[in-house]
Amino acid sequence: MQQLPLHPQGPTFSRIIAGAWRWKLSASSVERLIQTSLAEGITTFDHADIYGDHSNEEIFGEVLRQQPALRDKMQLVTKCGIKFQSDKRPKTWVKHYDTSKEHIVWSADNSLRMLNTDRLDLLLIHRPDPLLNPHDVAEAFTKLKEQGKVLHFGVSNFTRPQFYMLQKFLPMPLVTNQIEISLARVDPFFNGDLDLLMEHRASAMAWSPLAGGKLMAGERELFSKASQYNATYTQLLLAWLLVHPSSIFPVIGTTQPERIAEAAKALEVHLDKQDWFEMLQWATGKEVA
Ligand SMILES: NC(=O)c1ccc[n+]([C@@H]2O[C@H](COP(=O)([O-])OP(=O)(O)OC[C@H]3O[C@@H](n4cnc5c(N)ncnc54)[C@H](OP(=O)(O)O)[C@@H]3O)[C@@H](O)[C@H]2O)c1
């Protein structure tokens, strides 16, 4: 598995990342997913404070508590900024965003505790907050960095102006924008999202790279194309993302160890340019102009 810097100033991540959103499982099942990922060279794990109704970080952290040596073999990403009604958050009565300095610092500290770790490799603001105050975010990020609790910072689901504006106020680079990209969500190839990241020497993390397991347009043709490459459907869809010169890092979401091993082999599929465009055409239903 290729390891690549997300940004020239780091962090270095595995090219395919394992996402823990759907990992509301027993600690032993999560341990199996972690061990399979590591064995395949997938060393980066993507979390959020809210995944599994605020449970998934803790389950993952239980595995790290039992096997602390695993921590140095992996990189941990988590997110903050979304609040919703939950028995675990009784003071929240309406879904909202909170990117105040106090909440970002509190949430990072809480994630460190839940994950049983002394550092986060990357912390993301989960969604753009209409009330985001960039001075507040800059203070929170600076404090967490100075304390050595968070090594790198980024955002998720930000529009280009939102990314650009926040970066202007920060003393450190935003190393990624984690956005939805797949053959079912091709806009970032055309709307400037990936161009902006390239301008900032940052790479995208692509969430739901298999469209959450939904069937896609051109399904029959995709299976036939996959067999031409001696690849599976999953490997073809991931290989399609890996081609882009901005170095997209797909964040896969499977809960099945065999599918992690399958996805890791996507790096062995080298797509011809014409096949890339043919797949795009199946997705959009039209030729490029
Ligand atoms: N930043 C954000 O706002 C945001 C939003 C959403 C997700 N994420 C991140 O992105 C990660 C991945 O998202 P995702 O889970 O939607 O990714 P995904 O890899 O596109 O979808 C995973 C889903 O597809 C199913 N699947 C995979 N291969 C399949 C196959 N061959 N046939 C049928 N179903 C198949 C999986 O089921 P099985 O478990 O049975 O394999 C799972 O339910 C999340 O874990 C999270 O870390 C971030």
Q: Which residues line ligand 1 (CB under 6 A)?
A: 19-22, 46, 156-157, 178, 207-213, 234, 251-256, 259
Domain presence at residue 97: yes
Domain presence at residue 68: yes
Mutate to test the pocket of ligand 1, among 208, 215, 262 (most ligand atoms within 8 A of CB): 208
Domain presence at residue 222: no
pLDDT mean over 48-55: 97
Mutate to test the pocket of ligand 1, among 126, 207, 223, 233 (most ligand atoms within 8 A of CB): 207
Query: End-to-end distance of the chain based on CA atoms, in angstroms?
Result: 36
Total-model pTM: 0.97
* The pLDDT of residue 261 is above 70: yes
Rounded Cα distance between 109 and 129, Å, is 20
Whether 51 sits among the annotated catalytic residues: the reply is yes
Domain count, the chain: 1
What would the pLDDT profile of 115-145 be if each residue is shown by its tens digit? 999 999 999 999 999 999 999 999 999 999 9
Neighbours of 17 (CB within 10 A): 24
E-strand spans in 21-143?
44-46, 75-80, 82-83, 96-97, 122-125
> 252: part of which helix (H) or strand (E)?
strand 249-252
Atom of ligand 1 nearest to the CA of 209: 20
Domain presence at residue 260: no
What CATH number did the domain enclosing 43 receive? 3.20.20.100
Predicted local distance difference test score (pLDDT) of residue 220: 84
* The pLDDT of residue 216 is above 90: no
Task: Give the range of the structural domain holding residue 85, as residue numbers without chain letter.
Answer: 3-215+247-253
What would the pLDDT profile of 67-113 be if each residue is shown by its tens digit? 999 999 999 999 999 999 999 898 999 999 999 999 999 999 999 99
Give strand pairing partners of 191: none
Instruction: Tell me the C-alpha to C-alpha distance, in Å, between residue 255 and each of 54, 109, 135, 162, 213.
Output: 18, 27, 39, 33, 12
Q: What residue's CA is closest to ligand 1, atom 25?
A: 213
